[in-house]
């Protein structure tokens, strides 16, 4: 079996698992469903993790054997700002840390609609400030995030830059949601093949997250429209079968236009945030290996 055939077989199994239950209705049910599918494969037995209070936000440390405690991957989970959790992304975060050879800190940022913008951004800054107070140097911190978490990582870099503070070493973004104006062409082109993200679904959640008085083209909401001059190196990973493909490709162009080191990986057949299911997807594991190589090439 070729690598492409294996990828197709594995992603078909994942699609079947995702389709095994109807799309949930209501915030509690949606959150429970994402936690359920995110924990379909458990965390490896050799991972040590513990809860921690990062100022105003709760978090979770994790460390794999042999990891460097002086280096940290600060990770923001996806879930379109309304769902997702430390629990749903624990396998992804812990294996990312293992591959990169460093500690990880995942945070349980507040979610909409109970806590609309900018609550999540305040929590991200609290987590960053916590790491700095712990004596971790910014050059030894990598930011990571998928979907809305990728949005949050970019926004944190912008906030730090605007404040004149040292920036993280790099940012690793998986299937980032960067344009809440929903202008990307892939939202229509990939509508029929993306099992997770659909335009109407995004619109509903964006309305829950963004206050009605705010313009969604504001770079604080849609980081696609940020000024990226001076940003650290960025790795963008996206699947070819996802509705947010255009959010990633246009981001890579915008970052490159600002003369920032940016690397774009488009993974054939992969769906939204596929590394979450790395235990059952070879391409999920390969994506984490690639991300670790990128982070370590920057954080020397």
* Main-chain dihedrals φ then ψ at residue 15, nearest 5 degrees: -60, -40
Look-up: residue for tokens 């239950």? 21
Q: What angle, 0 to 180 degrees and rounded to 10, lies between the N-to-C axes of helices 282-298 and 3-18?
A: 110
What three-state secondary structure class fits 259?
Answer: coil
Task: Tell me, yes or no, if 272 is annotated catalytic.
Answer: yes
Can you read off the two tokens belonging to residue 28? Answer: 């509690």
- Cβ-Cβ contacts under 8 Å for 274 (sequence gap 6 or more): 11, 14, 175, 239, 267, 281, 283, 284, 287
Of these residues, 10, 60, 95, 242, which one is catalytic? Answer: 242
8: closest CA among 244, 281, 195?
281
The C-alpha atoms of residue 95 and residue 273 are separated, in whole angstroms, by 14
Look-up: residue for tokens 């095994």? 20
Can you read off the two tokens belonging to residue 168? Answer: 């993280």
Report helix, strand and coil shares of the chain as percent, to nearest 5.
40, 15, 40
* Residues 233/261, Cβ–Cβ less than 8 Å: yes
Of these residues, 147, 155, 175, 186, which one is catalytic? Answer: 147
Task: Tell me, yes or no, if 242 is annotated catalytic.
Answer: yes
The C-alpha atoms of residue 148 and residue 195 are separated, in whole angstroms, by 17
Task: Tell me, yes or no, if 95 is annotated catalytic.
Answer: no
Q: Which residues are catalytic?
A: 147, 242, 272
């Amino acid at each position: 079996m070729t690598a492409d055939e294996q990828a197709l077989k594995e992603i078909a199994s994942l699609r079947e698992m995702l389709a095994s239950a109807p799309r949930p209705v209501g915030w509690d049910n949606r959150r429970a469903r994402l936690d359920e599918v995110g924990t379909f494969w458990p965390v490896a037995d050799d991972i040590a993790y513990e809860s921690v209070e990062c100022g105003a936000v709760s978090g979770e440390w994790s460390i794999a054997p042999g990891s460097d405690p002086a280096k940290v991957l600060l990770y923001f989970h996806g879930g379109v700002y309304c769902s997702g959790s430390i629990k749903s992304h624990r396998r992804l975060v812990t294996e990312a840390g293992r591959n990169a050879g460093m500690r990880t800190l995942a945070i349980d940022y507040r979610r909409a609609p109970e806590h609309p913008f900018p609550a999540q951004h305040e929590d991200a800054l609290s987590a960053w400030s916590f790491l700095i107070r712990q004596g971790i140097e910014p050059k030894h911190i990598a930011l990571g995030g998928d979907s809305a978490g990728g949005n949050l990582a970019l926004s944190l870099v912008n906030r730090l830059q605007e404040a004149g503070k040292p920036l993280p070493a790099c940012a690793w973004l998986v299937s980032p949601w960067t344009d809440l104006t929903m202008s990307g062409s892939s939202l229509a082109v990939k509508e029929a093949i993306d099992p997770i993200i659909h335009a109407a679904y995004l619109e509903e959640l964006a309305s829950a997250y963004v206050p009605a008085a705010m313009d969604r083209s504001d770079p604080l909401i849609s980081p696609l429209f940020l000024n990226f001059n001076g940003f650290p190196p960025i790795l963008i990973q996206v699947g070819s079968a996802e509705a947010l493909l255009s959010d990633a490709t246009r981001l890579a162009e915008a970052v490159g236009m600002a003369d920032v080191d940016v690397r774009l990986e488009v993974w054939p057949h992969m769906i939204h945030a596929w590394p979450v299911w790395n235990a059952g997807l070879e391409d999920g594991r390969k994506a984490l290996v690639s991300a670790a190589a990128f982070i370590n090439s920057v954080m020397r």
